[in-house]
Amino acid sequence: MAAILGMTGEIVHASHHCKLNNLFHTRYRRDNFVLEMLSRRPMQGLKLAYSGTWLIQLHSLPAYKIEDRANFHCNAVTSTSDVPLSEKVNFLKLQNGSDIRGVAVEGVEGEPISLTEPISEAIGAAFAAWLLDKKKPAASKRLRVSIGHDSRISAQTLQDAISRGLASAGLDVVHYGLASTPAMFNSTISENEDFFCPVDGSIMITASHLPYNRNGFKFFTNTGGLGKTDIKDILERARIIYEKFLPESLKESVQDRSLSFKKIEYMTVYTSDLVKAVRQAAGNIEKPLEGFHIVVDAGNGAGGFFAARVLEPLGAVTSGSQFLDPNGFFPNHIPNPEDKAAMKAIIQAVLDNQADLGIIFDTDVDRSAAVDSTGSEFNRNRLIALMSAIVLEEHPGTTIVTDSVTSDGLTTFIEKKLGGKHHRFKRGYKNVIDEAIRLNSIGQETHLAIETSGHGALKENHWLDDGAYLMVKILNKLASARASVSTSGSKVLTELVQGLDEPAVAVEVRLKIDQKHADLKGGSFHEYGEAVLRSLENAVNSDRKLLKAPINYEGVRVSGHGGWFLLRLSLHDPVLPLNIEAPSHEDAVKLGLSVLAVVKEFPALDISALTKFVQID
- Do 430 and 511 belong together in one domain? no
Buried b (16+ CB within 10 A) or exposed e, 351-385: eebebbbbbbbbbbbbbbbbbbbebbbbbbbbbbb
At 531, the amino acid letter reads: A
- Do 250 and 320 belong together in one domain? no
Reported as a pLDDT band with limits 50, 70 and 90, residue 47 is very low
- The model's pLDDT over 434-462, given as tens digits with 9 standing for 90+, comes to 999 999 999 999 999 999 999 999 999 99
pLDDT of residue 332 exceeding 60: yes
- Do 47 and 194 belong together in one domain? yes
- Do 478 and 523 belong together in one domain? no
Reported as a pLDDT band with limits 50, 70 and 90, residue 405 is very high
Given 436, 470, 496, the domain boundary residue is 496
- Overall domain count for the chain: 3
Strand partners, 322: 297
- Do 408 and 446 belong together in one domain? yes
- Do 106 and 34 belong together in one domain? yes
- The model's pLDDT over 460-507, given as tens digits with 9 standing for 90+, comes to 999 999 999 999 999 999 988 775 555 567 899 999 999 999 999 999
- CATH number for the domain including 92? 3.40.120.10
Reported as a pLDDT band with limits 50, 70 and 90, residue 126 is very high
Q: How far apart (Å, rounded) are the C-alpha atoms in residues 3 and 273?
A: 53
- Do 114 and 233 belong together in one domain? yes
Continuous segment of H or E residues that includes residue 610: helix 608-614
Range in 3-12, 352-361, 517-526 with the lowest mean pLDDT: 3-12
Regarding predicted confidence, which is higher, 173 or 252? 173
* Residue 546 CB contacts under 8 Å (≥ 6 apart), including other chains: 540, 558, 559, 560, 594
pTM score of the predicted model: 0.83
Range in 31-40, 114-123, 567-576, 607-616 with the lowest mean pLDDT: 31-40
Average pLDDT of every residue of the chain: 85
**Where does residue 466 rank: exposed (0-12), middle (13-18), buried (19+ CB within 10 A)?**
buried
Instruction: Determine phi and psi for 465, rounding to 5 degrees.
Output: -80, 100
* Residue 455 CB contacts under 8 Å (≥ 6 apart), including other chains: 366, 367, 429, 432, 465, 467
Mean pLDDT of all residues in 332-337? 96
Mean pLDDT of all residues in 74-83? 30
Beta strand pairing call for 64-65 and 10-11? antiparallel
- Do 123 and 209 belong together in one domain? yes
- Do 466 and 515 belong together in one domain? no
Domain that holds residue 570: 505-614
The per-residue pLDDT for 49 is: 32
- Do 112 and 203 belong together in one domain? yes
Reported as a pLDDT band with limits 50, 70 and 90, residue 4 is very low
Regarding predicted confidence, which is higher, 252 or 55? 252
Percent share of the chain, pLDDT over 70? 82
Decide if 222 contacts 229 (C-beta within 8 A).
no
- CATH number for the domain including 544? 3.30.310.50
- The model's pLDDT over 110-122, given as tens digits with 9 standing for 90+, comes to 999 999 999 999 9
For the chain, give me the number of helices (H) and strands (E)? 18, 28
- The model's pLDDT over 15-46, given as tens digits with 9 standing for 90+, comes to 333 333 333 333 443 333 333 323 323 333 33
